[in-house]
């Protein structure tokens, strides 16, 4: 469903100067009824925080073009050498399209991710270029490969990625014995470690961002996308704080600078999910202060949740 630009502008005007916690509470409430509007609004607020002057200089018509596009209306549009086919996924950080590149009759199928946060100013554009360059150098068999990147004329950044087929890791792991679930996690941890060695963090590790094929080959998606969308200081973006709290670290929920430690925390939460089939903490819709308190109190050990799991895995 397309976002009504007038409603988007009204919400933005109400929240632009509000505190981070107030924004999150409003976005959480809005997401229950109008998730796409909430996603667009979060993206616009993050862009406003990065570059108030650039955003303020936009006229009303330009603001509508930048913030309220209808993903279905972009089908058939060409971005660089790639033609968008149809949306295949939507989330807080963007819309993913199946796309094709046709070079003299040789057709390649890829995925194009149109990021949710517009880029207005040269400094942010340069940071996006640096981040994309770093991701392109991240060569690991268990990380989705970045092929290309660019920006639309409206200012939307996009990434061209390998098209990956598979099931989310938690769904795939549910069919496996514990030892094979652990083997999957070892591969995921090695991929994350390889990225950390190149000073690239994920910041949004969750089951939906790790697909596993029939050969039990895990592939991490969206590596570095949160870093591209977040402020240059490394602080977590508004969208990260309200979209995926179940795998977000306490510092991310507080809006503090997030480092590799946030990925380590998310890997622990993911392992808990794979071992028990449950989230370590059910935080959706929970106020931030209560969510952080639950995390700091600690989760129930996996061996007490599921019979047969070794206490060695409780740590």
Taking only the tens place, the pLDDT of each residue in 123-148 is: 666 767 777 787 888 889 999 988 99
Gap between the Cα atoms of 245 and 294, Å rounded:
12
Q: How confident is the model at residue 55 (pLDDT cuts 50, 70, 90)?
A: very low
Res 43: pLDDT: 65
* pLDDT beyond 50 at 65: no
In sequence order, the β-bridge partners of residue 114 are 95, 158
Gap between the Cα atoms of 179 and 181, Å rounded:
5
Q: How confident is the model at residue 269 (pLDDT cuts 50, 70, 90)?
A: very high
Res 233: pLDDT: 38
* pLDDT beyond 60 at 266: yes
Higher pLDDT, 242 or 135: 135
Which pTM value belongs to this model?
0.75
Q: How confident is the model at residue 207 (pLDDT cuts 50, 70, 90)?
A: very high
Q: Which residue has the tokens 């590799």?
A: 260
Res 54: pLDDT: 44
Q: Give the closest residue to 209 by CA, choosing from 51, 96, 315.
A: 96
* Residue 264, C-beta contacts closer than 8 angstroms, at least 6 positions apart: none
The mean per-residue pLDDT over the stretch 195-212 comes to: 90
Taking only the tens place, the pLDDT of each residue in 104-118 is: 778 899 999 887 666
* Residue 114, C-beta contacts closer than 8 angstroms, at least 6 positions apart: 71, 74, 94, 95, 96, 97, 152, 156, 157, 158
- Of residues 46, 170, 204, 263, which has the active-site annotation? 204
Taking only the tens place, the pLDDT of each residue in 80-91 is: 899 999 988 876
Are the CB atoms for 295 and 281 separated by under 8 Å?
A: yes
Taking only the tens place, the pLDDT of each residue in 281-291 is: 888 777 778 88
Res 206: pLDDT: 92
The mean per-residue pLDDT over the stretch 54-78 comes to: 58
Gap between the Cα atoms of 48 and 152, Å rounded:
19
- The pair of three-digit structure tokens given for residue 13, joined into one six-digit string: 């005007």
Q: Give the closest residue to 170 by CA, choosing from 294, 285, 280.
A: 280
* C-beta neighbour count of 121 within 10 angstroms: 16
Angle between helices 60-67 and 5-15 (to 10 degrees): 100
Task: Please report, for residues 8, 38, 40, the alpha-carbon distance to residue 34 in angstroms, rounded to integers and kept in the order given.
Answer: 11, 6, 10
Query: What domains are defined for the chain?
Result: 1-68 (no CATH), 70-163 (3.30.200.20), 167-313 (1.10.510.10)
Gap between the Cα atoms of 237 and 258, Å rounded:
10
In sequence order, the β-bridge partners of residue 95 are 90, 114
Q: How confident is the model at residue 49 (pLDDT cuts 50, 70, 90)?
A: low
Higher pLDDT, 62 or 157: 157
* pLDDT beyond 70 at 205: yes
The mean per-residue pLDDT over the stretch 304-310 comes to: 86
In sequence order, the β-bridge partners of residue 194 are none
> Is 148 annotated in the active site?
no
Min mean pLDDT across 8-17, 65-74, 221-230, 267-276 is at 65-74
Give the 3-state secondary structure of residue 68: coil
* pLDDT beyond 60 at 240: no
Are the CB atoms for 149 and 137 separated by under 8 Å?
A: no
Gap between the Cα atoms of 289 and 142, Å rounded:
35
Min mean pLDDT across 32-36, 53-57, 109-113, 188-192 is at 53-57
- pLDDT over 70 percentage in the chain: 77
Gap between the Cα atoms of 307 and 302, Å rounded:
9
Res 186: pLDDT: 97
* Residue 222, C-beta contacts closer than 8 angstroms, at least 6 positions apart: 93, 113, 144, 202, 204, 209
The mean per-residue pLDDT over the stretch 248-264 comes to: 83
Res 48: pLDDT: 61
Are the CB atoms for 69 and 5 separated by under 8 Å?
A: no
Q: Which residue has the tokens 């991710």?
A: 113
Gap between the Cα atoms of 112 and 97, Å rounded:
5
């Amino acid at each position: 469903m397309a976002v009504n630009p007038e409603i988007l502008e009204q919400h933005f005007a109400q929240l632009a100067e509000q505190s981070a916690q107030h924004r999150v509470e409003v976005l959480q409430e809005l997401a229950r009824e109008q998730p796409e509007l909430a996603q667009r609004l979060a993206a616009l607020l993050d862009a406003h925080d990065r570059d108030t002057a650039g955003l303020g200089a936009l006229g009303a018509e330009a603001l509508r073009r930048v913030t309220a596009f209808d993903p279905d209306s972009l089908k058939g549009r060409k971005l660089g050498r790639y033609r968008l086919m149809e949306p295949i996924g939507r989330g807080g950080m963007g819309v993913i399209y199946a796309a094709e590149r046709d070079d003299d009759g040789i057709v390649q199928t890829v995925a194009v991710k149109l990021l949710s946060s517009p880029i207005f100013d040269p400094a942010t554009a340069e940071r996006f270029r640096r981040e994309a360059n770093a991701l392109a150098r991240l060569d690991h068999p268990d990380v989705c490969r970045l092929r290309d990147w660019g920006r639309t004329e409206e200012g939307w950044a996009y990434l061209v990625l390998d098209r990956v087929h598979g099931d989310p890791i938690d769904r795939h792991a549910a069919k496996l014995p514990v030892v094979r679930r652990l083997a999957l996690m070892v591969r995921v941890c090695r991929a994350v470690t390889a990225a950390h060695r190149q000073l690239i963090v994920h910041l949004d590790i969750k089951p939906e961002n790790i697909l596993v094929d029939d050969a039990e080959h895990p592939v991490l998606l969206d590596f570095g996308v949160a870093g591209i969308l977040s402020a240059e200081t490394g602080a977590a973006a508004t969208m990260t704080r309200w979209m995926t709290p179940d795998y977000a670290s306490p510092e991310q929920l507080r809006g503090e600078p997030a480092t590799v430690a946030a990925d380590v925390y998310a890997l622990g939460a993911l392992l808990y999910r794979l071992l028990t089939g449950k989230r370590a903490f059910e935080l959706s819709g929970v106020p931030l202060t209560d969510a952080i308190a639950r995390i700091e109190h600690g989760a129930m050990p996996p061996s007490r949740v599921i019979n047969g799991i070794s206490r060695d895995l409780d740590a």
